[in-house]
Structure 1
């Protein structure tokens, strides 16, 4: 599989480390300025394959139900096609519905409401927090994961899309439906406006491997109270 801009997917061990890092644990770091998006955005990236800008634009109205399947409606990326991505059960297990209730209570519409835009983009702020910049350590460094490996391949927040791509490719082919792969990734190889069989799409999506079933948004809240 070709790497995206010289990037590679995270290894299984690196994924384990990421989703067992301090953001998803019980210990608060000194001077940590935790945001809700720190918890949710890496999970959304892994379980939807969406780019951070797409995730940053999501609102409550972008959660829709199609043929009985709850989905995210992604439609803000200029280079890939709009698509409905089923919500992975792991996100529900992590407390997504409770979080959505919290957003309603706070009169917030954007799911990553505390993620500010920088230069008109959400991805820049995400990049700095996740990968660091200059002397500033990012989440990767704090988890002792190198941003460049011995082969010169990089890891970044978009590496999670590559992990998603790897898994969806396998499960779509096992279902004899390459269209499901092209649709979920927003590739132009899918020629229709919408994928017809939402049940099949959901089956492919739910096969993305769950990482750390113990993580929960309430744990994140509790360690900051």
Structure 2
């Protein structure tokens, strides 16, 4: 039985709380078993609008330079179209290049290499970690953000795609390009397979609001134990 009325984006305060939680702080919580994807997946989701399964499938080969702009190539979701999404500068500032070098040094190929698939999907493991299950609290609960608010609206990892959609809609329309919006979202309303003006896409993406400019992957992996 469905216990909520639908999904909503995170509020500005909730985003601030998420990206200032223990994952992005200096101290591990008790019994935490940190994974690299805990740091990266919520960030990539917010700045790319991709679903967790799409991010889970990303490989080094899916980092593509187009018109000298680094892009994620998303092409594994059955219901939305393949698309190139420029990498937001915040991800570079958060240590993406250093992380990629680390992946290569470990002879790994998948960006979220320490995220295992469950029943053939990456999203299930992400859902449990982020939203919890049964008595097990997820990252949301540990940040004191409810799964379902007082109006019956739900928040989940896919809420970050809704935050992306809100912002990209505004910035694409400001650039007078509804096509850019539909393409970046993977919507069928964009009739073509490619979007030639990658500079325009990049302009739209770079306007997505940075939540916490002090994050860095190196800080994540050197956090102190509680």
Deviations 1:60-101 (A, max 9, x none): 000000011100000000000000000000000000000000
1:101 aligns with 2:101: yes
d(CA) in 1 for partners of 2:91, 2:69: 14
Question: TM-score of the superposition, structure 1-length normalised?
Answer: 0.97
Alignment of 1:179-190 (within 5 A): 179-190=179-190
d(CA) in 1 for partners of 2:218, 2:163: 26
The Cα shift of 1:190 comes to 0.4
d(CA) in 2 for partners of 1:185, 1:133: 29
Q: Could you list the runs of 5+ residues in structure 2 that have no partner in the other structure?
A: none
Deviations 1:126-145 (A, max 9, x none): 00000000000000000000
The equivalent of 2:172 in structure 1 is 172
d(CA) in 2 for partners of 1:127, 1:15: 17
Q: Could you list the runs of 5+ residues in structure 1 that have no partner in the other structure?
A: none
d(CA) in 1 for partners of 2:36, 2:193: 33
**Number of residue pairs aligned between Structure 1 and Structure 2:** 221
Q: Which runs of 4+ in 1 moved over 3 A?
A: none
Q: CA RMSD in A?
A: 0.9
1:127 aligns with 2:123: no
1:56 aligns with 2:56: yes
The equivalent of 2:78 in structure 1 is 78
Question: TM-score of the superposition, structure 2-length normalised?
Answer: 0.97
Alignment check: 8 A CA contact 2:27 2:223 kept: yes
d(CA) in 2 for partners of 1:45, 1:201: 17
The Cα shift of 1:193 comes to 1.1
The equivalent of 1:18 in structure 2 is 18
Alignment of 1:31-50 (within 5 A): 31-50=31-50
